[in-house]
């Protein structure tokens, strides 16, 4: 697909801002209209107004689904929106609510019609392009996926919700069978917003209410002679039907996860098959998916998340996507080069087998590699002022004309061992701040505890412990080299790296990178002017340690920061206990 045809395909895409931003705003407006227009009060004649209403609870499944699913399954959300519009027009007598949900339902219907028309045109345009026959090998077996586990968990959640509702209903029914009607007098509202009632016996009772009641008004209530703590307003009986919404919502999600899993398995048949392939160009994207472009690379068609049948290759590819993440800039240079080389193998001209349409599950064939879908193909998301673009390796390739960094030459003379590596000057306030926290923290905890502010006291303990850890890590950071090992003290532990395990030493912008097997250890905090000298010493110690003896595993031991942290927490805990049982 190239040229004008690819541009026409991209022009059929439904703008994502319509269902990801506009419809949620309209949904919220319909909710506001429903609440604002509901001026009626609770009624004894119709307890469903403020009491149990199973129809309303079941309808709310469609209402919430029409919002929650907009970002994940917009078509299902649109169907739910149309369904709730029909239910609202059938059962709701509030004019503003009927208008609000009618507007929302019509927009959902427009979205449905537009989506189906869009995907039909996408398939029609893709069918006009010349294709070639290709054989796709059988896919690897799919076991129990996370989707199935989540679906199973949601089924149990729904069953538990209905079980809890049944237990609550039975308990409420027992009270109602014993209940007698009385007339209570409204005495007012307490500070928690609960209604204070005075019963004919002279006793007072507080109850949470939905409606507004005037002070001095007579209110019919139900009381249980066998349980003086139980009381219900006749117009506001206990409502446990919202558990229908919880259970139904959980089961709807379970069905959607199950259908997605079935679609995944259908897209990855366990037998070899022939298909018509469409030439495209692919490249890894920062979203951990592959950006699919037209064959000439001019038009971005969409994104497809895939994996490989070979688990080891798929794991390397998954790790290599880190090369596109700006947060991984502190990774060793050699590791970033390996990531880049891995990604380059999965970039270029490819064949797309299957439907080139939103919601399709096509397969990508790149040379002898088969990239199988793990989620549906999606078009680029957009806002009225900006469309989603790609951020791939091509935009981050280093300038090949720059000379590579020279290798580290070993030092001719090694300092007296053990040698404490010279580090950047620490902030002058690190140690005084640590001492200040150690002194002020317990005092603050004790003061808050004696004032009865237990939650702030616990928070002060947790925050103080975190500050002690952070400041202590700065104040006690050390890097010490011996003839056999390199000790790095950071945080609660000191990590030992045997020189025998180190295969290379490289100078990075953030410090020194030590390669040990499949791992890289970055030693930071070294002053820039001392980096070449430290690297040369490390290289000399590394070469001296290569005596043919087996490598020693990486080990750890506790640092002083852990002891200081433990003492601080113990003191604060002791203060809290003493304040609880023996206030000062």
The tens digit of pLDDT for each residue in 39-91 reads 777 888 887 788 888 999 999 999 999 999 999 999 999 999 999 999 999 99
Average pLDDT over residues 398-405: 44
Share of the chain above pLDDT 70, in %: 93
Residue 117: its H or E element: helix 95-127
pLDDT at res. 510: 67
Three-state DSSP at 340 gives helix
What DSSP state is assigned to residue 19? Answer: I
Q: What is the reported pLDDT for 338?
A: 82
Peptide bond into 418 cis (omega under 30): yes
How high is the pLDDT of residue 327? Answer: 63
- Distance between CA atoms of residues 503 and 428, nearest Å: 36
Distances (CA, A) of 518 to 183, 319, 331, 334, 495: 78, 13, 13, 11, 17
Phi, psi of 224 (to 5 degrees): -105, 115
SS3 277: strand
User: Is it the case that residue 174 has pLDDT exceeding 90?
Assistant: yes
Is residue 494's pLDDT more than 90? no
What average pLDDT does this structure show over 372-389? 90
Q: How far is CA 198 from CA 172, 188, 193, in A?
A: 22, 10, 16
Q: Which residue has the higher pLDDT, 32 or 192?
A: 32
**pLDDT for residue 112:** 96
Give me the phi and psi of 231, to 5 degrees please: -155, 140
Find the DSSP H helices in 308-348. Answer: 311-320, 333-344
- The tens digit of pLDDT for each residue in 321-371 reads 887 876 666 667 677 778 888 899 999 999 999 999 999 999 999 988 999
What integer pLDDT is reported at residue 505 of this predicted model?
A: 85
Instruction: Please compute, for residue 386, the number of CA atoms within 13 A of its CA located in the half-sphere on the CB side.
Output: 3
Q: For residue 582, name the pLDDT band (cuts at 50, 70, 90).
A: low
> Can you state the percent helix, strand and coil of the chain, rounding each to 5?
45, 20, 30
**CA distance linking residue 467 with residue 459, whole number of Å:** 12
Predicted confidence (pLDDT) per residue in 137-150, tens digit: 999 888 899 999 99
Specify the long-range contacts of residues 36-41, CB closer than 8 Å, at least 24 apart. 36/96, 37/94, 37/95, 37/96, 37/97, 38/94, 38/97, 41/211, 41/212, 41/235
| Pair 230, 224: CB distance under 8 Å | yes
Mean pLDDT rounded to a whole number for the chain: 88
- Give how far Cα 424 sits from Cα of 9, 376, 478, 510, Å: 57, 50, 11, 12
User: Is the model's pLDDT at 538 over the cut of 80?
Assistant: yes
The confidence score (pLDDT) of residue 366 equals 92
Q: Could you tell me if 477 and 517 are in contact, meaning their C-beta atoms sit under 8 angstroms apart?
A: no
In this prediction, residue 24 has a pLDDT band, given cuts at 50, 70 and 90, of very high
pLDDT score of 400: 39
Q: What's the pTM value of the predicted model, to 2 decimals?
A: 0.74
The stretch 273-282 carries a mean pLDDT of: 92
Residue 151 has a pLDDT of 97
- State the Cα–Cα distance between residues 391 and 286, nearest whole angstrom: 6
* Per-residue model confidence (pLDDT) at position 555: 75
Are the CB atoms for 264 and 74 separated by under 8 Å? no
326: exposed, middle or buried (Cβ count in 10 Å: 0-12, 13-18, 19+): exposed
Using CA atoms, how far residue 576 sits from 437, 439, 467, 548, 570, in Å, is: 17, 16, 19, 57, 10
Say how far apart CA 207 and CA 185 lie, in whole Å: 13
| Ordered domains of the chain (ranges, CATH) | 3-129 (no CATH), 158-242 (2.40.50), 268-387 (no CATH), 419-581 (no CATH)
The stretch 425-433 carries a mean pLDDT of 80
pLDDT of residue 257: 97
Q: Which residue has the higher pLDDT, 276 or 407?
A: 276
Name the pairing type of β-strands 512-516 and 493-498. unpaired
| 426: nearest Cα among 468, 473, 460, 379 | 473
Average of per-residue pLDDT across 469-477: 88
Q: Is the per-residue pLDDT at 388 higher than 90?
A: no
- 223-237, 257-271, 275-289, 489-503: least confident range: 489-503
Reading the block at residue 67, the tokens are 């919002």
The pLDDT score that the predictor gives to residue 169 is 94
* pLDDT the model gives residue 393: 63
| DSSP 8-state assignment for residue 179 | -
Split at pLDDT 50, 70, 90, the class of 404 is very low
């Amino acid at each position: 697909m190239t040229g004008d045809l690819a541009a026409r395909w991209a022009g059929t895409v439904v703008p994502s801002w319509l269902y990801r931003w506009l419809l949620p705003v309209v949904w919220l407006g319909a909710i506001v209209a429903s609440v604002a227009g509901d001026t009626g009060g609770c009624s004894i004649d119709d307890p469903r107004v403020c009491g149990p209403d199973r129809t309303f609870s079941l309808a709310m499944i469609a209402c919430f689904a029409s919002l929650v699913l907009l970002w994940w399954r917009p078509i299902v959300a649109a169907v739910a929106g149309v369904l709730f519009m029909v239910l609202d027009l059938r059962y709701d007598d509030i004019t503003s609510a009927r208008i609000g949900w009618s507007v929302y339902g019509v927009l959902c219907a427009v979205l449905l019609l537009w989506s189906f028309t869009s995907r039909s045109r996408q398939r029609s345009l893709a069918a006009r392009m010349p294709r070639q026959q290709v054989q796709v090998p059988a896919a690897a077996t799919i076991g129990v996926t996370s989707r199935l586990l989540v679906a199973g968990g949601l089924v149990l959640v729904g069953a538990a919700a209905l079980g809890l509702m049944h237990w609550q209903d039975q308990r409420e029914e027992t009270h109602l069978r014993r209940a007698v009607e009385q007339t209570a007098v409204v005495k007012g509202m307490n500070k928690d917003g609960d209604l204070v009632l005075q019963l004919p016996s002279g006793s007072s009772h507080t109850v949470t209410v939905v409606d507004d009641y005037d002070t001095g008004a007579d209110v019919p209530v139900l009381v249980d002679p066998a349980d003086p703590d139980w009381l219900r307003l006749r117009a506001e009986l206990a409502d446990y039907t919202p558990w229908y919404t919880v259970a139904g919502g959980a089961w709807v999600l379970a069905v959607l996860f199950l259908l997605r899993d079935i679609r995944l398995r259908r897209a990855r048949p366990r037998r070899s098959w022939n298909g018509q392939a469409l030439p495209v160009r692919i490249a890894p994207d920062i979203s951990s998916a592959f950006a699919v472009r037209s064959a000439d690379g001019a038009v971005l068609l969409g994104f497809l998340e895939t994996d490989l049948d070979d688990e080891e290759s798929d794991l390397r590819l998954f790790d290599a996507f880190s090369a596109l993440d700006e947060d991984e800039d502190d990774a060793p240079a050699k590791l970033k080069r390996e990531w880049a080389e891995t990604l380059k193998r999965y970039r270029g001209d490819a064949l797309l087998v299957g439907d080139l349409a939103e919601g399709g599950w096509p397969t990508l064939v790149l040379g002898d590699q088969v990239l199988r879908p793990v989620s549906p193909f999606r078009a680029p998301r957009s806002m009225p002022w900006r469309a989603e673009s790609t951020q791939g390796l091509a935009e981050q390739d280093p300038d090949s004309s720059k000379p590579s960094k020279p290798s580290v030459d070993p030092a001719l003379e090694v300092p007296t061992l053990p040698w404490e590596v010279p580090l950047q000057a620490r902030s002058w306030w690190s140690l005084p701040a640590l001492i200040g926290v150690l002194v002020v923290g317990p005092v603050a905890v004790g003061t808050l505890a004696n004032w009865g502010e237990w939650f702030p006291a616990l928070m002060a303990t947790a925050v103080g412990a975190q500050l002690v850890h952070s400041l202590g890590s700065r104040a006690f950071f050390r890097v010490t080299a011996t003839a056999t090992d390199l000790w790095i003290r950071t945080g609660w532990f000191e990590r030992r790296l045997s020189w025998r395990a180190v295969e290379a030493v490289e100078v990075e912008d953030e410090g020194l990178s030590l390669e040990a097997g499949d791992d890289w250890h970055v030693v930071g905090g070294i002053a820039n002017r001392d980096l070449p000298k430290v690297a040369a010493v490390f290289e000399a110690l590394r070469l001296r340690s290569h005596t043919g003896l087996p490598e020693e595993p990486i080990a750890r031991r506790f640092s002083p920061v852990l002891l200081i942290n433990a003492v601080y927490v113990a003191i604060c805990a002791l203060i809290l206990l003493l304040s609880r049982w023996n206030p000062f």
